[in-house]
Structure 1
Amino acid sequence: MLFLRYWATPDRRVLVSLNESVLEDFQSHIQNLPSDHEAGGLLLGTVHGAHMIITEVTVPTLKDKQCRYFFERMPFGHRAIAEARWRASAGIIRYLGEWHTHPQDHPTPSGLDRTEWALLAGKRADGRPMLAIIVGRQGLHVEIVSPNESGLIMEPIF
């Protein structure tokens, strides 16, 4: 597997685990060719204190807007999946954040990414920070975003 599965804040107070199926979904949307468009979706999973396990991601729908350097997730299909998982799990599986791709080997968030993440973090009903992941060709950018703070970049745990 190209991408690493375990991530932590520098102080190791927050841990994130990505299921193998999540990493496989990320792999299948890497922008390797000049004709490949950005992709993205929701991060769904479980919360264990400050820690998270990402068990599933939603993937682009036909209604999403995808271009080489732009992805806009339309809410309908993604929201329906998230709500179905929430109900089926009696609230155990929940929305944890967002992911999208960049056509970079080692991705970095744009100003637009950071603005959008702060807005999404502010809309969280549970008040928790949001997890944001950017999938690059050779690595991931994993960050915890609070509405009123700058993001906290996570590090892979080897």
Structure 2
Amino acid sequence: MNFRIDSDGLLKISEKALSVLQQYRQVGSRDKEAGGVLLGRYIQSSRDIVVDLVTHPMKHDIRKRYFFKKCREDHQNIVQTLWEESDGTCNYLGEWHSHPETFPSPSSHDIKEWKKVIEHTICDSDKLFFIIVGTKSIDVWVGCRTSLEIKKMIRC
């Protein structure tokens, strides 16, 4: 699954990452929101970025029907471990969570939390990505760290 970043760059979601995201679609009436972080790499000599992995919900995350809050420390431990094991090529790229709606859209709470992530994340990239998994659609937003602008990405 690919999304246009800009005129010459793509965000590519690997089959492995997509498979995990699809596991957490809230298709049942009692399914709770799920979430985690996006991990991947910047492709040299291009503007493409690949989401190779996503973390699963973890024991200390808060999961409710219409709410998800990740335990930052648990997910950060995975980010740090993979960064070290990959000699710095596996990077934190953003966040994901699910919504119990067909075509997901971010709530005002989501936007507020994403802006906090954009402002407080220390990384080399100006862009962070935010995925919402709906019951039928998976959509992606990109946040710019310099302007704090968040916009929906176009699937291609």
TM-score in terms of structure 2 length: 0.92
Structure 2: runs of 5 or more not aligned: none
1:124 and 2:143 correspond: no
Q: Deviations over 1:83-116 (max 9, x none)?
A: 0110011110010000000000000000111111
Shift of 1:124: 2.2
How much does 1:149 deviate? 3.0
- The answer for the alignment partner of 1:39 in structure 2 is 34
Give 1:127-142 correspondences, 5 Å limit.
127=124, 128-142=126-140
Could you tell me the percent identity over the aligned residues? Answer: 31
Aligned to 2:63: 66
- Residue 150 of structure 1: aligned partner: 149
Residues 118 and 148 in structure 2, CA contact (< 8 A), matched pair in contact too: no
Conservation of the 8 A alpha-carbon contact between 1:106 and 1:140 = yes
Coordinate RMSD, CA, aligned: 1.3
Q: What CA distance in whole angstroms lies between the structure 1 residues aligned with 2:70 and 2:38? A: 13
Measure, in 1, the Cα distance between the counterparts of 2:58 and 2:48: 29
- Give the superposition deviation at 1:141: 1.7
Counterpart position of 2:8: 13
Given candidates 92, 104, 114, the residue that maps to 2:111 is: 114
Q: Which amino acid aligns with 1:156?
A: R
What pairs with 1:15-30 in structure 2 (closer than 5 Å)? 15-30=10-25
Tell me whether 1:55 sits opposite 2:52 in the alignment: yes
Give the paired residue count: 152
Q: Does 2:98 align with 1:101?
A: yes
- Contiguous gaps of at least 5 residues in structure 1: none
